[in-house]
C-alpha cells in the first residue's frame, strides 16, 4: 500500500460533493468573501488575508474532512511540490548550502500507518532541530505556506546566525481515518526518534499552528502525564522551547473572543464543534471532552495543576494569537495558567491587533516574511542563541 493515500469516496459521497460544489460552495464563498472584505476595509486590515479567511471558513463549514482530503493534495504531495519549486528558486540556486537544505528527505515513522517525517533543512549537519505540527483541524493536510514558514522562521534564521537547523515536519494521519490519540502517538514517536538518534532534548524545539498548537500542548501533557496510547518518553533535560500559534486548547466556545470574532475569522464556534466531533471520534467522544475527560487534547478544560512541572519538560514557551480571532482566549488562558503556576520564567505571549487566525501561515502562503514571521524568527533566534 502506498502512503499517504487519499480517501476513496463512495458514489453517494461523490454525488453529495458534486451538489455542494455547484450550490453551497459558490454561495457561501460569495457570502463570506463579501462580508470579510467589507470587515477588513472598514477596519483597515489586510484585505488579501481576509479573502483567504473567507475561503477557509467556507471549506470548513461546507465540506467534510474526507471531502477536503479528496479535493486537496496530501501533505507529502504538498511537501514534494514545495521542495521542487524552492530548489529552483534563484536564492537557493545561488547558495550551495541552501541547495543542500532543500532536498526531498522523507523518513517513514511506521509501517502500520501513513505517518512520516518530512525534513526541511540539512538534518545530517544540523545542530538544532524543530519538530513541527501543522494545523488544519486534523482534517486538512499541510499547505505550501507551512513549509515556507518553517524555511523562513527556523532554517533560514539558523543560517543567519551561523547555526544549522533542520525541521522534522510531521505528516500525521488525518481524521476521520485517525482520531485521538493517533496524532499524539505519532508526535511522541517523532520526538522519540530524534532522541534515539542521540540529539539532546535542549537542541529540540516543538510547535505548530491551530490544531498543531493543540498537538504541541498534547505532547507537553504527555511528557508530564504519559498517555497509555503513546510512547512513554522520559527526558534527561527540558526541551529547548515550544511555540503555539493560534492554538486550539478547549472545547468551550463561549469565551469573549468567540463572541466578538465568531463572524470575522476563518474559523467559528460551529467549525470548532464540527471538527472537534470528528477528532474525538463522534458525538460521544466530543461530549466526554466537554466534560473535561480529555486533559491531553483540551488542557484548558481541566484543573490548572495539569501543567505543574512543565519547566522540567520545556525551557521556554512562545504563544501568539491575533486579537481578531476566536481562539485568542485559549492562548491567553494557557499563558495565564503557566504564569500562575510560577514555575517558568521564559514565557512570551503576543496578541496582535488586526490579525485573525494563523496569520503567519497566510504570510507563508503568499511567500512573505511579514510581521508574524519576523516575530517568530526573533523568538527562535533567542532559543538557538542560548547555547
**Residue 166, pLDDT above cutoff 70:** yes
Of 6 and 188, the one with more pLDDT? 188
Q: Write the pLDDT tens digit of every residue in 287-343.
A: 989 888 999 999 999 999 999 999 999 999 999 999 999 999 999 999 999 999 988
Q: Which pLDDT belongs to residue 2?
A: 46
SS3 162: coil
Q: Which residues contact 237 (CB under 8 A, 6 or more apart)?
A: 200, 201, 202
Q: Which pLDDT belongs to residue 343?
A: 83
Confidence of residue 1 (pLDDT cuts 50, 70, 90): very low
**Residue 369, pLDDT above cutoff 50:** yes
Q: 142-170: buried (b, 16+ CB within 10 Å) or exposed (e) per residue?
A: bbbbbbbbbbbbbbbbbbeeebbbbbbbb
Give which of 349, 350, 330 is closest to 253, Cα–Cα: 330
Q: Which pLDDT belongs to residue 6?
A: 86
d(CA 151, CA 158): 10
Does pTM top 0.95 for this prediction?
yes
**Residue 167, pLDDT above cutoff 90:** yes
Q: Which pLDDT belongs to residue 112?
A: 77
Strand-pair partners of 169 = 118, 132
**Residue 31, pLDDT above cutoff 80:** yes
Cis check: omega of the bond before 4, within 30 degrees of 0: yes
* Residue % of the chain over a pLDDT of 70: 98
Confidence of residue 4 (pLDDT cuts 50, 70, 90): low
Q: Which fold has domain 74-384?
A: Rossmann fold (3.40.50)
Q: Write the pLDDT tens digit of every residue in 203-235.
A: 999 999 999 999 999 999 999 999 999 999 999
What average pLDDT does this structure show over 160-181?
Answer: 97
Q: Please give the mean pLDDT across all residues of the chain.
A: 96
Q: Write the pLDDT tens digit of every residue in 94-132.
A: 999 999 999 999 999 987 788 999 999 999 999 999 999
| Domain regions of the chain by residue span | 74-384
At residue 367's C-alpha, the angle toward residues 146 and 7, to 5°, is 40
Q: 339-367: buried (b, 16+ CB within 10 Å) or exposed (e) per residue?
A: eebeebeeebbbbbeebbbbbbbbbbbee
Task: Assess contact for 202 and 192: CB atoms under 8 A.
Answer: no
What average pLDDT does this structure show over 37-53?
Answer: 97
Amino acid at each position: 500500500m502506498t502512503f499517504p493515500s487519499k480517501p476513496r469516496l463512495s458514489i453517494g459521497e461523490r454525488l453529495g460533493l458534486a451538489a455542494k460544489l455547484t450550490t453551497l460552495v459558490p454561495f457561501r464563498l460569495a457570502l463570506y468573501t463579501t462580508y470579510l472584505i467589507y470587515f477588513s476595509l472598514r477596519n483597515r486590515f489586510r484585505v488579501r488575508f481576509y479573502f483567504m479567511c473567507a475561503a477557509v471558513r467556507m471549506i470548513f463549514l461546507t465540506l467534510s474532512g474526507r471531502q477536503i482530503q479528496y479535493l486537496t493534495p496530501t501533505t507529502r504531495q504538498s511537501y514534494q511540490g514545495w521542495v521542487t519549486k524552492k530548489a529552483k528558486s534563484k536564492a537557493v540556486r545561488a547558495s550551495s548550502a541552501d541547495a543542500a537544505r532543500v532536498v526531498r528527505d522523507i523518513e517513514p515513522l511506521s509501517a502500520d500507518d501513513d505517518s512520516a517525517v518530512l525534513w526541511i533543512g540539512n538534518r545530517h549537519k544540523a545542530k538544532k532541530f524543530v519538530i513541527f505540527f501543522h494545523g488544519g483541524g486534523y482534517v486538512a493536510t499541510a499547505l505550501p505556506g507551512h513549509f515556507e514558514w518553517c524555511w523562513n522562521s527556523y532554517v533560514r534564521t539558523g543560517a543567519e546566525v551561523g547555526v544549522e537547523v533542520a525541521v522534522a515536519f510531521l505528516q500525521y494521519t488525518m481524521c476521520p481515518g485517525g482520531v485521538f490519540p493517533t496524532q499524539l502517538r505519532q508526535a511522541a514517536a517523532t520526538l522519540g526518534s530524534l532522541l534515539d538518534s542521540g540529539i539532546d532534548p535542549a537542541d529540540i524545539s516543538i510547535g505548530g499552528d491551530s490544531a498543531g498548537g493543540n498537538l504541541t500542548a498534547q505532547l507537553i501533557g504527555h511528557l508530564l502525564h504519559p498517555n497509555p496510547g503513546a510512547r512513554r518518553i522520559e527526558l534527561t533535560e527540558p526541551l529547548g522551547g515550544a511555540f503555539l500559534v493560534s492554538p486550539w486548547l478547549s472545547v468551550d466556545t463561549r469565551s469573549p473572543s468567540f463572541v466578538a470574532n465568531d463572524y470575522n475569522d476563518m474559523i467559528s464556534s460551529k467549525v470548532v464543534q464540527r471538527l472537534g466531533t470528528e477528532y474525538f471520534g463522534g458525538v460521544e467522544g466530543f461530549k466526554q471532552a466537554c466534560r473535561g475527560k480529555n486533559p491531553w487534547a483540551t488542557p484548558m478544560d481541566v484543573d490548572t495543576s495539569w501543567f505543574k512541572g512543565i519547566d522540567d519538560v520545556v525551557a521556554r514557551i512562545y504563544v501568539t494569537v491575533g486579537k481578531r480571532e476566536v481562539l485568542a482566549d485559549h492562548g491567553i488562558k494557557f499563558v495565564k495558567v503557566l504564569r500562575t503556576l510560577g514555575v517558568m520564567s521564559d514565557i512570551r505571549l503576543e496578541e496582535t491587533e488586526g490579525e485573525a487566525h494563523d496569520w503567519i501561515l497566510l504570510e507563508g502562503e503568499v511567500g512573505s516574511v511579514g510581521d508574524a514571521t519576523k516575530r517568530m524568527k526573533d523568538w527562535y533566534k533567542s532559543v538557538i542563541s542560548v547555547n
